[in-house]
A and B are shown apart, each in its own frame.
Chain A
Amino acid sequence: MQLDDLYRRVIMDHYKNPRNQGTLDEEAVTVNLNNPTCGDRIQLQMQLEDGIVKQAKFSGEGCSISLSSASMMTEAVKGKSYDEALALADKFSEFIKGEDVEFEELEDIEALSGVSKFPARIKCATLAWNALRKGIEHDNNNNNK
């Protein structure tokens, strides 16, 4: 197992220069999630309109894997419909378990493929995606009320 398999250049780039880091105004849907085993936490804010993820920003503390994954996730889901975003989250779940999956939406994500060989780190990679699911489900529930 080589370190470079896990820490690809693309990952380090997202870690060093995170896309969509920051906050949105208070009308945005806000999800706070943490990883209780390690203390990592993420705040994901999304502007959700007419079933579309218009804007997504994140902040928080975490390792290179969790922060780069959050950066990539926000890039990938912007402009996607809820169904498309949730389908992408499902695809990511398969991918991170080691399935061979392509991300035509954002090829950068494929750099995280090495994570599947580090079982202890899978939770780091999925944190932001779990926040995405939670945010969309929350909005769906509100709209159905």
Chain B
Amino acid sequence: MQLIREQFPILHQDINGHPLIYLDSAATSQKPRSVIDAVKRYYEWDNANVHRGVHTLGSRATDAYEGAREKVAKFIHAASTQEIIFTRGTTASLNLVASSYARAVCGEGDEIVITPMEHHANLIPWQQVVKATGATLKYIPMQPDGTITIEDVEKTITNRTKIVSVTHVSNVLGTINPIKEITAIAHRHGAVMVVDGAQSAPHMKVDVQDLDCDFYAFSGHKMCAPTGIGVLYGKKALLESMEPIEFGGEMIDHVDLTDATWKELPWKFEGGTPIIAGAVGLGAAIDFLTEIGLDVIEEHEHKLSAYAYDRLLTLDDITIYGPVQNRSGLVTFNLGDVHPHDVATVLDTKGVAVRAGHHCCQPLMRWLNVSSTARASFYLYNTEEDVDRLVDALKQTGEFFGHAIG
């Protein structure tokens, strides 16, 4: 693990007089040297616009951009690069499905099915579709431990369901949802399955053909790539049936004074100069992660998460949210009456970076009956010592506030 840590330059600094312990990778991951270098090299040697330059740099940039698409297709085992749309991130990917596909197929009486654990990015786009089309938004209920059961999925999805959209891994609870099973149920009812993969693609092997989902959305920045680049995977037949939502350069085939036709997939959804350097960085991140092995990363985080869960439970007054077993690499908690903001500030003075707030999940916070929580999230560069530092800092937080308040 030390070898992996060494490849992340940002981790080797002191924060407030303590070595940085970065436990906020579910918000955004840090970047390895190889990704930073790939983006730098692209700008220093290859930078040009894509798909139009006759000159050498133009074809180098195009090769780099399209080469990244091939890496993404392989990374999630898509059948073709035509099924890989580059976007700004998971939010943009989900909005593309909502604005193009959902608005075209949903009408009065139709249903869109989601869960109460969705990130705002997999909730608000559907709320907007429902408002515009007269469809209804339905929720698969959650068990007290923040999981969903197949029985409830069966009960919620009906023949009026047009779209089922579920997060693969909850960014708050750490719940890993049974996507393959939910997809099978959705398909039986003629609905399409959308997966928010923001918290799964970085951390586990994802095979979109095995899951059989129709759309899968994820972000580069949570998986060692730069911000501003993301992916929408969609099955070819569905993407072909959809209209673009952004119009302009890059995405057109033939243009005359009154009308235009679109390029073939995937470019019809990529209007304007794309995020070329971001895609190059994403390609480098995929190389980095696959060289280590997604199974190795998953195993490492699984162990770390279990270790953190057990260590945190030794603290007085701790509440940990989400399932006990089969959880992803994060732990969301509250420490007695101490507000998560205060927890995060105290931890920051000890060099420990955690997230505090509602994690873009306000309905889920209400379900948990809290206004906010603190969250420590792990990635391949975190260690058991990081967890120990977190636990020590939390102990001191409890003592400080117990003393200051009591």
Contact = CB atoms under 8 A, between A and B. Distances in A.
Interface of A: 1-3, 6-7, 9, 12, 15-16, 37-41, 61-66, 118, 120-121, 124
- Kindly name the residue among B339, B357, B365 whose own CB sees the greatest number of chain A CB atoms within 10 A: B339
Interface string B325-341: 00000000000000111
Closest 4 pairs between A and B when the two form their complex, measured CB to CB: A63-B339, A63-B341, A39-B358, A38-B357
B16 A124 contact: no
A39 B345 contact: no
Contacts of B195: none
Contacts, number: 51
A99 to B, nearest CB: 22
Given A61-B371, A65-B341, A3 B346 contact: yes
A6 B345 contact: yes
A63 B357 contact: no
Given A1-B349, A3-B349, A39 B371 contact: yes
Contacts of A37: 357
Contacts of B349: 1-3
B257 interface: no
Contacts of A62: 339, 341
A16 B406 CA distance: 9
Contacts of A3: 346, 349, 400
Nearest to B405: A16
B405 A39 contact: no
Interface residues of B, number: 19
Contacts of A12: 404-405
A33 to B, nearest CB: 14
A118 to B, nearest CB: 6
A120 B355 CA distance: 12
B362 interface: yes
B372 interface: yes
B130 interface: no
B365 A63 contact: no
B400 A7 contact: yes
Interface string B373-406: 0000000000000000000000000001000110
Interface of B: 16-17, 339-342, 345-346, 349, 356-358, 362, 365, 371-372, 400, 404-405
10 contacts: A3-B346, A3-B400, A6-B345, A9-B404, A38-B341, A38-B358, A40-B371, A40-B372, A41-B371, A65-B341
Contact of B345 (A2, A15, A16, A118): A118
A9 B406 CA distance: 12
Contacts of A9: 404
B365 A39 contact: yes
B405 A124 contact: no
A37 B339 CA distance: 14
Given A37-B357, A38-B372, A39-B365, A15 B405 contact: yes
A12 to B, nearest CB: 4
Contacts of A118: 345
Contacts of B345: 6, 118, 120-121
Contacts of A41: 371
A114 to B, nearest CB: 10
A1 B16 contact: yes
A6 B357 CA distance: 19
A66 B365 CA distance: 19
A38 B356 contact: yes
Contacts of A66: 341
Given A1-B17, A3-B400, A39-B362, 9 more contacts: A7-B404, A9-B404, A12-B405, A15-B405, A39-B371, A61-B371, A62-B339, A65-B342, A121-B341
Contacts of A15: 405
Given A3-B346, A38-B358, A64 B371 contact: no
Given A39-B365, A40-B371, A63 B342 contact: yes
B337 to A, nearest CB: 10
Nearest to B365: A39
B125 to A, nearest CB: 18
Contacts of B372: 38-40
A12 B339 CA distance: 13
Contacts of B356: 38
